[in-house]
Amino acid sequence: MADKKFSVTEESDSKHPHDWGRAMSVAISRLVEMAEEAGDVVEHENLYGEDLHLYVTETAGGADITMSWTPRTSNKSDSSGEEQS
């Protein structure tokens, strides 16, 4: 199965990185929602140990914060290829 990649952009009305926390947290929450909508069983704990990518674009009044995530294989399989519960 092809890897899924989720990406979301949120706006910040500040150009200062210390003000970007809300935009980043909203973006991360939306990544989890997108994975759920794609049929994955995801909770915030699934983000531990995952690589989240951050891309910042300057805008006239602040910055666009883009977070992207390509989940690692979340379903554990045994050697027979069957999912374990």
For residue 44 the two structure tokens come to 């915030």
**pLDDT score, position 59:** 97
As a whole number, the mean pLDDT across the chain is 83
Which one-letter DSSP state was computed for residue 64? E
Q: What local confidence, expressed as pLDDT, does residue 9 receive?
A: 97
For the chain, helix (H) and strand (E) counts, in that order, are 1, 3
> CA nearest 65: which of 76, 55, 75?
55
Return the structure tokens found at 83. 């999912």
What residues in the chain have per-residue pLDDT under 50?
Answer: 1, 75-85
How much is the pTM?
A: 0.76
The amino acid occupying position 69 is W
